[in-house]
């Protein structure tokens, strides 16, 4: 077990995570989250979770060399499976700055007991540079279009959520490069480019259902315990590159977004979500701050329901 993590499985409502994402291999669910070396948990039933060793035992050398101040605390992983490999995208960054990069690690299996289990780091995929880019290379999410071409959505604050087409091995932008802005919020004009600003939007996740691509993002502020105001909103588009419109027809590039899930009296700042399919159900996976436990961040898994083609999650119990 990892020092500082529990020796016994924890109930879902007690698992201490930030920015969770999940995938199933055979009969086991694997959960990845922000943490030193990327936190990993496993479960047979999504109820009791066991802490596994982190993805990285040491910080990737390329990240230390490229990102000032990075020491191994790795953000917002995204997991997917393609051509016999699990692809784990991850973020390295300094908080509140766009000195950020997204890396990729791959593995043949997620089962630590397998002889084939070994994380192989493929290094940097994209990087944002202050003074050059008005976007931030964090919060990656891999999505495939109707032609099975891989794209990476990512971003936060600055000019919002971006989308870039990847090459065939998913290690870099495809040539010629294709970039799109998917969502953004108004940013105060007087702020310097080097400042994250007040256009609070991040954590994209794209999920396709019934002919539409649904773009989920988190509005407002995380990482403040009980003072967090995070919430999940969404828009949809018939094309991966957009435009994404909310329920009222407002483009997400103009600040639009229909609320899907928000906090309650006892759970604050719910957000940074992923969407998974489990049998005939869709589940929304995110974190929230537990007001009954000193505002600690914990795992939330809720059924994602649909009404007239729009997703929603029933409120957390008080």
Q: Tens digit of pLDDT per residue, the chain (318 long)?
A: 344 455 679 988 899 999 999 999 999 999 999 999 999 999 999 999 999 999 999 999 999 998 988 889 999 999 999 999 999 999 998 877 888 999 999 999 999 999 999 999 999 999 998 888 889 999 999 999 999 999 999 999 889 999 999 999 999 999 999 999 999 998 888 887 777 778 899 999 999 999 999 999 999 988 887 888 899 999 999 999 999 999 999 999 999 999 999 988 899 999 999 999 999 999 999 999 999 999 999 999 999 999 999 999 998 776
236: helix, coil or strand?
strand
Residue 3 lies in a domain: no
Residue 318 lies in a domain: no
* Helix, strand, coil share of the chain (percent; to 5): 5, 45, 45
66: helix, coil or strand?
helix
Residue 7 is predicted with a pLDDT of: 63
Residue 112 lies in a domain: yes
Q: Are 62 and 123 in contact (CB under 8 A)?
A: yes
166 - beta bridge partners?
Answer: 173
Residue 5 is predicted with a pLDDT of: 57
Give the position of tokens 């070396």: 37
User: Residue 303 catalytic?
Assistant: no
Side-chain-side CA neighbours of 46 within 13 Å: the count stands at 16
Residue 204 lies in a domain: yes
Residue 65 is predicted with a pLDDT of: 92
Residue 1 lies in a domain: no
For the chain, the domain total comes to 1
Residue 158 lies in a domain: yes
Residue 3 is predicted with a pLDDT of: 40
Q: Choosing from 52, 78, 139, 202, which is the catalytic residue? A: 202
Residue 2 lies in a domain: no
User: Residue 202 catalytic?
Assistant: yes
Whole-structure pTM value: 0.95
CATH of the domain at 268: 2.115.10.20
Q: Quick one: which of 52, 121, 134, 124 has its CA closest to 92?
A: 124
Full residue range of the structural domain in which residue 70 is found: 10-312
Q: Which long-range contacts (CB under 8 A, 24 or more apart) does 49-52 make?
A: 49/9, 49/10, 49/11, 49/12, 49/15, 49/299, 50/9, 51/1, 51/2, 51/5, 51/6, 51/10, 52/2, 52/112
Q: Are 146 and 99 in contact (CB under 8 A)?
A: no
Residue 51 is predicted with a pLDDT of: 97
The region, left, alpha or beta by phi > 0 then psi within -120 to 50, assigned to residue 309 is left
Q: Choosing from 19, 52, 78, 290, which is the catalytic residue? A: 19
Sign of the CA dihedral running 34, 285, 104, 166: negative
């Amino acid at each position: 077990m990892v020092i500082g993590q529990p020796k016994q499985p924890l109930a879902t409502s007690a698992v201490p995570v930030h920015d969770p994402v999940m995938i199933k291999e055979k009969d086991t669910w694997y959960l990845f989250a922000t943490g030193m070396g990327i936190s990993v948990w496993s479960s047979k039933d999504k109820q009791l979770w066991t802490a596994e060793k982190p993805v990285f035992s040491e910080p990737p050398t390329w990240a230390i060399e490229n990102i000032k101040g990075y020491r191994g605390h790795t953000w917002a992983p995204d997991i997917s499976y393609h051509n016999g490999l699990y692809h784990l995208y991850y973020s390295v960054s300094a908080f509140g700055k766009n000195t950020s990069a997204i890396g990729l690690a791959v593995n043949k299996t997620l089962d630590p007991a397998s002889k084939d289990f070994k994380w192989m780091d493929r290094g940097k995929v994209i990087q944002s540079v202050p003074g050059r880019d008005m976007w931030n290379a964090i919060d990656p999410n891999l999505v495939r279009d109707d032609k099975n071409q891989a794209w990476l959505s990512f971003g936060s604050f600055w000019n919002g959520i971006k989308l870039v087409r990847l090459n065939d091995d998913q290690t870099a932008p495809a040539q010629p490069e294709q970039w799109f802005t998917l969502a953004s919020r108004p940013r105060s004009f007087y702020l310097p480019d080097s400042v994250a600003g007040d256009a609070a939007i991040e954590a994209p996740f794209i999920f396709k259902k019934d002919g539409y691509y649904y773009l989920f993002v988190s509005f407002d502020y995380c990482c403040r315990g009980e003072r967090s105001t995070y919430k999940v909103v969404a828009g949809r588009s018939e094309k991966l590159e957009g435009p994404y419109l909310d329920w009222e027809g407002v483009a997400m590039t103009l600040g639009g977004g229909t609320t899907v899930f928000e906090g309650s009296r006892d759970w604050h700042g719910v957000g940074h979500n992923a969407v998974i399919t489990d049998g005939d159900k869709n589940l929304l996976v995110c974190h929230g701050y537990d007001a009954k436990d000193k505002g600690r961040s914990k795992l939330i898994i809720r059924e994602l329901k649909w009404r007239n083609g729009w997703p929603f999650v029933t409120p957390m119990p008080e």
